[in-house]
């Protein structure tokens, strides 16, 4: 069947019939005062949150189900569960009993966690389908991580199999990979904020230089490789940062957090929030500065975010958002293995700088055509730049000669929109859900490389007039265009078993227009050859990605799931157009293709343990990576290109034990123990390069374990976490010995321990902790360019303290 015919058939299915729905409504009152209770959450144990009561205690929702188990929840009242059989419109009035004592923060968290499992996405949320997918939700507001410095090791501690670069003590950038995917700037995930793209260029340069402040997040949604159908083509899947929502019950709320820590760290996070009539708002300003844990590593960051919403009526809303980030960081440069062994925190680069300027904007329109059909429209754009300046040579132990520096300037301007319609309909007397969407995306980016000043400070102006013989000079424009159509459909074979097929059609046009210079000099530095080489490319491709997800839910506490999805990664312009002294580019480098699959079980056993246990496979064709290549003159160089086909497969698991219930502790206590583990095998199966077949894939630690214990007594919370990753390689030839640039070589195994404490009293909260308690010297990254090249060490033992006031 042609794609056009398939889309028409699916659209016709939407209009087959309207579901027979019944209205459930009623009033929630206080059993003692007989007064109405507002903001009571009404849940169905299977499908989740249905509605909330209004100021008059009134609630209403519609359902096609005949059997419901409703839970009425409010922090100040005892939760009430009601089994309901529905055949017609039903009125159900509920009275709740007030709690006899005021609850502490720990007890509030414990009550809600006990009743509801909120760590995974439902099958359908808004205009998105997640049925049969491996989804994980990080509840940031409940995290005990060092949020002030965006400590990813702690924040993502319960997400299985992630590999994280840890070289930044302020969390200015997020570097997350997994399953053999390079963590560099999270480029193998589709990164979004509230559902819209935030990376530099989704296809041409998918690196994320902007990361929202963790203190402003409510949750982080992670969908593994099968996310390609709705969110793009990436092998990693989706990371969506969901910002905090406006306070629904107050016209004004202010939260301010001040943090001090090691190496001169100071941060301030101040947010305002509220709702008045149909208007709502949330915004924050986040300031960071510090000296860094190495010499020549100072930084300053300013980040602002504003959300304004208008609710026309129950069915229609309009939201606008603006995000701005600007930071300047000095970079201490990379190290060789010998330098790291002698002193892991040394630096011989005092003139390397990095600056990011990021402006994001978004308009979101949501409308419910009916109880069955939802529509969303996102218009978004980016105006940003990132500048890298410094002395970078193939020999990272070479002392800076204090001459002109290398400067790379990237400017990113893109815009696009994404429209989605989700509808529930009836097929063969079974309820089904259909999603159809389209995405338009246009980018006009520019990259310029040339000589920077011979000074010390951050001067980001090209100095071609002063240094005309500088060899690494180029200028390119990258006008890219992308159009996509995607669709998914949940089909229920039985009430417990669903099949969710999907497709994504992609049209991509990538262009490169510009030139680079070739300049040869003699031993005295005189120019003996010079030419400008035009390099204009035009590459069009169109393809369809297919996938399917399966889900079996015999009850609310258990699910078996499986999925398989095709993936695709286009060659980025950083793969082909940057002149780097640390490696060469294979001129025949091409796009990568493959697919991912997951099979697993997850659930909650009697509220004693929450679990997710699964196996995965990732099949990568034409994987791009590094090899050590011998030239005809006997020299050995690092070359970046299509190494070959590879397979990664393994077991990922998370077990979270509710020790409070196991030990029969009262509600004044909370206690949980979790263990998150990943065991992966990887291998190159085919390659045209010698010495590659049978080797392990780079960025794949065989063992990846994170485990921790969280304990609370009333408003006092304590947390201890341990992390271990085994050895991993950085090139396809599995080199263990490092080269002179420090780029190639193994990353040794490492382990880290983190502890944290918090105490809340009325409007005040104090948080403190020590990261890398054992003070281990380790590194997680060998950078190919900035902030290196070479080994980038991770932070030694460091402490922080945060004081929060809520008004």
Q: How far is CA 156 from CA 112, 254, 320, 610, in A?
A: 21, 27, 28, 17
Rg of the chain (C-alpha set):
27
For residues 732-758, b (16+ Cβ closer than 10 Å) or e, as one string?
bbbbeebbebbbbbbbeebebbbbbeb
Helix (H, G, I), strand (E, B) or coil at 141: helix
Token output for 411: 């400017």
Q: Which residues, in sequence order, are CB contacts of 345 under 8 Å at separation 6+?
A: 293, 294, 295, 777, 793, 796
645 pairs with which residues across the strands?
A: 686
Cα separation of 797 and 777, whole Å? Answer: 9
Residue 15 phi/psi, 5° resolution?
-95, 15
Cα separation of 441 and 417, whole Å? Answer: 7
For residues 778-792, b (16+ Cβ closer than 10 Å) or e, as one string?
bbbbbbbbbbbbbbb
Query: What residue has token string 């006997």?
Result: 634
Cα separation of 332 and 428, whole Å? Answer: 65
The residue ranges of every structural domain in the chain are 22-100, 241-806
Cα separation of 675 and 656, whole Å? Answer: 7
Helix (H) or strand (E) holding 6: helix 3-14
Q: Which residues, in sequence order, are CB contacts of 145 under 8 Å at separation 6+?
A: 151, 154, 155, 157, 214, 756
The pLDDT assigned to 47 comes to 64
Helix (H) or strand (E) holding 112: helix 105-115
Q: Could you tell me where the DSSP H helices lie in 116-272?
A: 152-155, 228-231
Claim: this prediction has a pTM higher than 0.75: yes
CB count within 10 Å of CB 510 equals 23
CA 307, 311, 316: angle at the middle one, nearest 5?
A: 115
The pLDDT assigned to 629 comes to 73
The pLDDT assigned to 454 comes to 96
Cα separation of 580 and 472, whole Å? Answer: 8
449 pairs with which residues across the strands?
A: 408, 474
Cα separation of 170 and 327, whole Å? Answer: 11
Helix (H, G, I), strand (E, B) or coil at 338: helix
Cα separation of 794 and 783, whole Å? Answer: 13
Cα separation of 635 and 398, whole Å? Answer: 20
Helix (H, G, I), strand (E, B) or coil at 788: coil
Cα separation of 578 and 535, whole Å? Answer: 13
Longest dimension (CA), the chain: 94
Would you say the CATH fold of 241-806 matches that of 22-100? Answer: no
Kindly state which CATH superfamily the domain 241-806 is placed in.
TonB-dependent receptor, beta-barrel domain (2.40.170.20)
Q: Which of 623, 598, 592, 626 is nearest to 613 (CA)?
A: 598
Cα separation of 705 and 622, whole Å? Answer: 29
Cα separation of 532 and 519, whole Å? Answer: 9
Residues belonging to the chain: 807
Cα separation of 747 and 689, whole Å? Answer: 23
Q: Which residues, in sequence order, are CB contacts of 441 under 8 Å at separation 6+?
A: 197, 202, 203, 414, 415, 416, 480, 481, 482, 483, 484
Q: Which residues, in sequence order, are CB contacts of 166 under 8 Å at separation 6+?
A: 152, 153, 780, 781, 794, 795
Token output for 29: 């009152």
Q: Which of 615, 731, 734 is nearest to 678 (CA)?
A: 615
Token output for 220: 């982080």
Query: What residue has token string 């995306």?
Result: 441
Q: Which fold has domain 22-100?
A: Immunoglobulin-like (2.60.40)
Say which DSSP state 332 is in: -
ω into 637 cis (within 30 of 0): no
Cα separation of 365 and 318, whole Å? Answer: 5
Q: Which residue numbers in the chain have pLDDT < 50?
A: 1-19, 113-118
CB-based contact 196:403 (threshold 8 Å) = no
Helix (H) or strand (E) holding 365: strand 353-368
The pLDDT assigned to 639 comes to 81
The pLDDT assigned to 119 comes to 72
The pLDDT assigned to 388 comes to 96
Helix (H, G, I), strand (E, B) or coil at 154: helix
Region of residue 170 (left: phi > 0; alpha: psi -120 to 50; beta: else) = alpha
């Amino acid at each position: 069947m042609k794609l056009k015919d398939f889309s028409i058939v699916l659209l016709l299915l939407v209009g087959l019939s309207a579901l027979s729905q019944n209205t459930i409504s009623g009033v929630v009152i206080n059993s003692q005062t007989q007064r109405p209770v507002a903001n009571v959450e009404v849940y169905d144990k299977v499908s989740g949150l249905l509605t909330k009561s209004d100021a008059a205690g009134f609630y209403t929702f519609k359902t096609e189900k005949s059997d419901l188990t409703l839970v009425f929840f409010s922090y100040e009242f005892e939760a009430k569960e009601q089994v309901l059989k529905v055949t017609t419109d039903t009125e159900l009035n509920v009275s709740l009993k007030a709690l006899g004592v005021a609850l502490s923060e720990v007890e509030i968290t414990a009550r809600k966690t006990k009743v509801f499992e909120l760590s995974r996405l439902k099958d359908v949320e808004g205009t998105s389908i997640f049925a049969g997918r491996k989804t994980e939700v990080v509840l940031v507001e409940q995290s005990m991580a060092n949020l002030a410095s965006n400590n990813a090791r702690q924040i993502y501690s319960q997400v299985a199999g992630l590999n994280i670069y840890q070289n930044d003590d302020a969390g200015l950038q997020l570097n997350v990979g997994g399953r053999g995917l390079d963590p560099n700037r999270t480029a193998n995930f589709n990164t979004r904020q509230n559902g819209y793209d935030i990376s530099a260029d989704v296809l041409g340069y998918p690196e994320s230089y902007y990361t929202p402040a963790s203190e402003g997040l409510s949750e982080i949604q992670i969908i593994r490789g099968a996310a390609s159908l709705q969110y793009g083509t990436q092998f990693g899947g989706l990371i969506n940062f969901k910002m905090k929502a406006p306070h629904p019950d107050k016209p004004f709320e202010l939260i301010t957090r001040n943090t001090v820590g090691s190496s001169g760290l100071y941060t301030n996070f101040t947010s305002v929030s509220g709702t008045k009539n149909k208007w709502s708002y949330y915004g924050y300003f986040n300031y960071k500065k510090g000296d860094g844990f190495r010499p020549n590593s100072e930084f300053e960051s300013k980040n602002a975010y504003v959300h304004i919403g208008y609710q026309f009526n129950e069915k229609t809303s309009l939201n606008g958002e603006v995000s701005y980030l600007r930071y300047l960081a000095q970079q201490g440069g990379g190290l060789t293995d010998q330098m790291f062994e002698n002193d892991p925190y040394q630096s011989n680069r005092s003139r390397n700088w990095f600056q990011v300027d990021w402006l994001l904007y978004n308009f979101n329109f949501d409308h419910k055509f009916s109880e069955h059909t939802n529509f969303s429209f996102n218009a978004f754009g980016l105006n940003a730049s990132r500048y890298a300046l410094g002395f970078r040579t193939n020999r990272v132990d070479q002392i800076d000669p204090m001459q002109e520096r290398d400067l790379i300037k990237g400017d990113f301007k893109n815009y696009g929109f994404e429209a989605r319609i989700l509808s529930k309909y009836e097929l063969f007397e079974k309820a089904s859900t259909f999603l159809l969407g389209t995405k338009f995306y246009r980018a006009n980016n520019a990259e310029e490389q040339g000589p920077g000043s011979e000074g010390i400070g951050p001067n980001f102006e090209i100095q071609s007039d002063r240094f005309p013989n500088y060899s690494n000079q180029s200028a390119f424009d990258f006008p890219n265009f992308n159009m996509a159509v995607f669709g998914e459909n949940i089909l229920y074979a039985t009430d417990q078993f669903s099949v969710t097929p999907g497709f994504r059609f992609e049209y991509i046009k990538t262009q490169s227009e510009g030139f680079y210079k070739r300049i040869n000099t003699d031993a005295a530095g005189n120019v003996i050859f010079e030419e400008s080489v035009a390099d204009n490319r035009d590459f069009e491709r169109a393809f369809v990605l297919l996938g399917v997800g399966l889900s079996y839910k015999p009850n609310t506490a258990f699910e078996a799931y499986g999925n398989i999805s095709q993936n695709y990664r286009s060659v980025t312009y950083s793969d082909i157009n940057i002149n780097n002294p640390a490696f060469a580019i294979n001129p025949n480098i091409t796009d990568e293709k493959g697919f991912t699959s997951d099979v697993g079980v997850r659930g909650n056993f009697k509220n004693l343990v929450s679990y997710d246990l699964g196996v995965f496979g990732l099949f990568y064709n034409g994987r791009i990576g590094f090899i050590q290549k011998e030239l005809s003159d006997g020299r050995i160089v690092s070359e970046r290109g299509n190494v070959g086909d590879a397979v990664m497969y393994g077991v990922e698991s998370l077990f979270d034990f509710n020790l409070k219930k196991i030990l029969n502790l009262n509600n004044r206590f909370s206690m949980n123990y979790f263990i998150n583990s990943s065991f992966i095998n990887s291998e190159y199966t085919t390659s045209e390069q010698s010495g590659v077949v049978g080797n392990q894939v780079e960025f794949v630690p065989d063992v990846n374990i994170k485990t921790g214990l969280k304990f609370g007594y009333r408003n006092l919370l304590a947390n201890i976490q341990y992390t271990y990753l085994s050895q991993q390689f950085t090139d396809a030839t599995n080199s263990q010995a490092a080269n002179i640039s420090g780029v190639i070589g193994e990353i040794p195994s490492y382990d880290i321990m983190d502890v944290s404490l918090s105490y809340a009293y009325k409007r005040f909260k104090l948080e403190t902790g020590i990261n890398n308690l054992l003070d281990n010297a380790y590194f997680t990254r060998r950078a190919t360019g900035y902030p290196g090249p070479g080994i980038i060490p991770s932070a030694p033992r460091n402490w922080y303290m945060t004081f929060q006031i809520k008004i």
